[in-house]
């Protein structure tokens, strides 16, 4: 008997490796769709990230230009101040020269009968003194004229430079205002892009999470399917020897059908309904969905839950009656992971790999994963 069980388990292991059950077409399609969504959102996120980086660089460049224009404006203002100081200095000199010339005119007007040339001619001590005096007057007048021309020329030049500098300042101020407007527009565009980026990042994270969940669903379905197929192989080999299976794991209970008879009868009518991961209707059941459906149609009002939750809800018992629950653990995930309804004769009805059917509690698979009995 022991050798036979080893042979069966070896065959089962080989069969499972070669079988490598796939998830349903719908599950695989869901993974593909989620992967496509992730790819799309990743592309959007990368594009928006690049757009934000470009805008950031433009804003930095614009701020640098604004700072440069501010420095140019500051330098221009210094030049204007220097030019204004130069103009003030020259105007002051012109004023003083004008005052000197006016004083001379006033002095000459106080002696209207005296001709300057005649005075020089008749009051000279000699021909040499005459020419000396005449030369002095000529030099004086020429110096005044030169000063006036020089001052007027310098003032005209400075006024022209001042006009040019003012025009440049206006140009710089206008350029600065344009750059500030550009910066404002860029900041608004940046804010909009960053908002879109945050939205794209959220959608991307959500799509990645959904993709991971979809892949996990496929993995869990594969593991559960493998476990249930191993149960079928184990059940097929152990059915003929269930009464001689030893005393490990759950024991056979041939007690009379009592209050659970209605539950068993109701459950057994669904034999052959296909296994569907997450299924809760006669179109397809998984193990906990089958339990919920049977009990909810027999006066029990609890909600749909997983095996672990039902294990925590159930009252633990040692001697099951028909209609009680059989719990298994570590079949494809750690902890309570599979369950069925005890129907008597050391068997339970459950959602197996081939759909709703019965399995012996003495099978090696059940014995190796047996957790306990429970009652709602």
- Note whether 141 and 31 are within 8 A (CB): no
pLDDT score recorded for residue 5:
45
Q: The tokens 């040692």 sit on which residue?
A: 318
Phi-psi map region of 185: left, alpha, beta (phi>0 left; psi -120 to 50 alpha): alpha
Query: CA neighbours within 13 Å on the CB side: how many for 166?
Result: 8
pLDDT score recorded for residue 220:
67
- CATH number for the 245-375 domain, one of 3.90.1720.10, 3.40.50.20, 3.40.50.10420, 3.90.100.10? 3.90.1720.10
Please state, in angstroms and rounded to a whole number, the distance separating the CA atoms of residues 3 and 9: 10
- Write out pLDDT tens, residues 340-372: 999 999 999 999 988 999 999 999 999 999 999
Per the residue annotation, which of 133, 350, 367, 369 is the catalytic one?
350
**Can 214 be counted among the known catalytic residues?**
no
DSSP codes joined into one string, 30-52: HHHHHHHHHHHHHHHHHHHHHHH
| CA 108 and chain centroid, separation | 93
Please state, in angstroms and rounded to a whole number, the distance separating the CA atoms of residues 149 and 145: 6
DSSP state of 315: E
**Can 144 be counted among the known catalytic residues?**
no
DSSP state of 361: T
Domain ranges of the chain: 28-218, 245-375
Please state, in angstroms and rounded to a whole number, the distance separating the CA atoms of residues 175 and 172: 5
Per the residue annotation, which of 30, 34, 338, 369 is the catalytic one?
338
Per the residue annotation, which of 267, 287, 341, 349 is the catalytic one?
287
Question: How much is the pTM?
Answer: 0.46
pLDDT score recorded for residue 153:
79
| CA 148 and chain centroid, separation | 75
* Residue ranges of the chain whose pLDDT lies below 50: 1-24, 238-258
DSSP state of 335: S
**Can 350 be counted among the known catalytic residues?**
yes
Contacts 24+ apart (CB under 8 A), 357-361: 357/271, 357/272, 358/271, 359/231, 359/232, 359/235, 360/235, 360/238, 360/239, 360/242, 361/242, 361/249, 361/250, 361/252, 361/326
Nearest to 177 by CA among 80, 66, 57, 78: 66
Nearest to 116 by CA among 106, 126, 108, 105: 108
Please state, in angstroms and rounded to a whole number, the distance separating the CA atoms of residues 365 and 89: 111
Nearest to 189 by CA among 57, 64, 41, 43: 57
Cβ neighbours for 371, distance < 8 A, ≥ 6 positions apart: 311, 327, 328, 329, 336
What residues does 375 pair with on adjacent strands?
315
For 103, 109, 124, 252, 371, the CA distances from 244, given in Å and listed in that order, are: 146, 155, 165, 10, 21
Q: The tokens 């006066």 sit on which residue?
A: 299
Please state, in angstroms and rounded to a whole number, the distance separating the CA atoms of residues 231 and 220: 16
CA-CA-CA-CA torsion sign (58, 60, 62, 64)? negative
pLDDT score recorded for residue 240:
38
């Amino acid at each position: 008997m022991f050798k036979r069980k080893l042979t069966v388990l070896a065959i089962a292991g080989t069969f499972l490796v070669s079988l490598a059950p796939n998830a349903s077409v719908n599950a695989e399609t869901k993974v593909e769709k989620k992967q496509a969504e992730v790819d799309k959102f990743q592309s959007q996120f990368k594009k928006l990230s690049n757009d934000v980086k470009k805008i950031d660089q433009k804003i930095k460049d614009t701020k640098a230009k604004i700072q440069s224009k501010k420095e140019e404006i500051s330098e221009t203002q210094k030049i204007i101040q220097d030019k204004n100081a130069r103009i003030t200095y020259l105007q002051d000199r012109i004023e003083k020269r004008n005052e000197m010339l006016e004083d001379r005119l006033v002095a000459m007007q106080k002696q209207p009968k005296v001709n300057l040339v005649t005075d020089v001619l008749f009051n000279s001590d000699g021909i040499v003194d005459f020419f000396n005096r005449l030369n002095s007057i000529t030099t004086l007048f020429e110096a005044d004229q030169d000063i006036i021309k020089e001052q007027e020329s310098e003032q005209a030049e400075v006024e022209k430079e001042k006009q040019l500098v003012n025009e440049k300042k206006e140009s710089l101020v206008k350029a600065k205002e344009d750059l500030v407007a550009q910066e404002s527009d860029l900041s608004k565009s940046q804010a909009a892009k960053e908002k879109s980026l945050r939205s794209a990042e959220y959608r991307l994270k959500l799509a990645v999470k959904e993709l991971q969940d979809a892949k996990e669903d496929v993995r869990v379905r594969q593991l559960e399917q493998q476990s249930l197929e191993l149960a079928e192989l184990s059940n097929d080999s152990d059915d003929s020897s269930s009464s001689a299976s030893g005393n490990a794991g759950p024991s056979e209970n041939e007690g009379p059908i009592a209050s659970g008879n209605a539950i068993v009868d109701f459950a057994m009518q669904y034999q052959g309904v296909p296994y569907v991961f997450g299924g809760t209707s006669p179109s397809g059941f998984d193990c906990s969905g089958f339990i919920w459906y049977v009990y909810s149609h027999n006066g029990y009002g609890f909600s749909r839950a997983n095996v672990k939750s039902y294990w925590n809800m159930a009252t633990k018992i040692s001697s099951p009656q028909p209609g009680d629950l059989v719990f298994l653990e570590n079949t494809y995930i750690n902890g309570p992971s599979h369950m069925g309804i005890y129907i008597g004769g050391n068997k339970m009805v459950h959602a197996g790999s081939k759909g709703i059917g019965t399995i012996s509690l003495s099978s090696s698979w059940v014995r190796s994963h047996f957790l306990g009995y429970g009652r709602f």
